[in-house]
Amino acid sequence: MTSLAPSPTASAAALETVYRPRHPLDLGATVVFQRRGANDPTLTVDGPVIWRASRTPLGVATLALRGTADGSVRIAAWGPGAEWALEQAPALCGASDDATGFDATRHPLIAHLAHRNPGLRLGRTELVFDALVSSVVEQKITGLQAFAAWRRLVTWYGTSAPGPTPRPMSAPPTIEGWRRIPSWDWHRAGLEPPQARTIARVAERGESLVRAIVTASDSEQIDRVLISQPGIGPWTSAETRIKALGDPDAVSVGDYHLAHEVGYALTGSRTDDDGMLELLSPWAGHRQRVIRLLAAAGAPREPRRAPRLHPEDHRSR
């Protein structure tokens, strides 16, 4: 396998492999879902190559993934966590996703979208704490604000990504690094004190919290562990499980837009959280799969009726 990147330096020697999925795979739709905004320092797309920087249990790693004409994925990894990242890459690409029991024919739109997007898989990073922090960052503020705050904090306190990345990239801070961020930098990044306090609190028991999650017997137990933490509610729990564990049934109840979008797509009218859960009930066990299909190209979108919400810049307070 040749190098995925142009002109790698001698110090950026990569471990390389090829992943051959047993199912159709839309690499971009599956992996780029993990990106937190267009300028996320942990994930970028450079032409046909997806680059991801992460802090693995063995250390920082950079992963480069490139799909090929035969459906396989060429993968290279750099850094002390390269071996872990290579071993985990198939799960990131949806290899652990099990669609058994999913019946797309229960609604004509879902059947159409499933047929149109056969390669959409639910990937997982298996990096629970990073997913939890990014979800807390996204609480109760606009996506643009959250993505900007995530970018600032990871760039300021993370670790530079190894390897020949196409632009400067960073892996997230360590758990202790998140805990030690001073209050003024949370504010400078654009986060409110409740979010900063929540991240600091979960970081205080970060290792034990992660251990409780990864050893939990099922999604319901993981949800109970997460929402037992102050500042963590159903929305944050669901978002964490979606990103880190590829939970096929997680629904982000309390999202500002999600219920409206699901209701409009499936019925032509907006609905609330209760209405959304009722609409999704025929796909119990695969509700996140339905939501992801509805977010894919080809799903109907409600016409915008008002100007975008102008986000408040908390840093000006």
| pLDDT in the model for residue 311 | 55
pLDDT tens digits, residue range 263-273?
999 999 999 99
Complete DSSP assignment for 238-300:
HHHHHHHH--TT---TT-TTHHHHHHHHHHSS---HHHHHHHHGGGTT-HHHHHHHHHSTTS-
pLDDT digits (tens, 9 = 90+) for 153-163: 999 999 999 99
Burial class (CB in 10 A: 0-12, 13-18, 19+), 317: exposed
**∠ CA 24-14-134, rounded to 5°:** 65
The whole-model pTM stands at 0.91
Instruction: Read off the pLDDT of residues 209-218 as tens digits, 9 standing for 90 and up.
Output: 999 999 999 9
Please say if the pLDDT value at position 1 is more than 50: no
pLDDT of 7 > 80? The answer is: no
Return the residue matching tokens 């939890």: 132
More confident residue, 76 or 11: 76
Separation between Cα atoms, residue 53 and residue 79, nearest integer Å: 10
Q: How many CB atoms lie within 10 A of CB 261?
A: 20
pLDDT band at 12 (very low <50, low <70, confident <90, very high): low
Predicted confidence (pLDDT) per residue in 215-256, tens digit: 999 999 999 999 999 999 999 999 999 999 999 999 999 998
Q: Is the pLDDT of residue 50 over 70?
A: yes
Report the percentage of the chain scoring pLDDT > 70.
92
The SS3 assignment for 310 reads coil
Q: What confidence tens digit (pLDDT) does each residue in 168-209 have?
A: 999 999 999 999 999 999 999 999 999 999 999 999 999 999
Dihedral of alpha carbons 158, 50, 164, 22, sign: positive
Place of tokens 């290579």: 86
**Statement: residue 306 has pLDDT above 80:** no
CATH architecture type of domain 10-104? 2-Layer Sandwich (3.30)
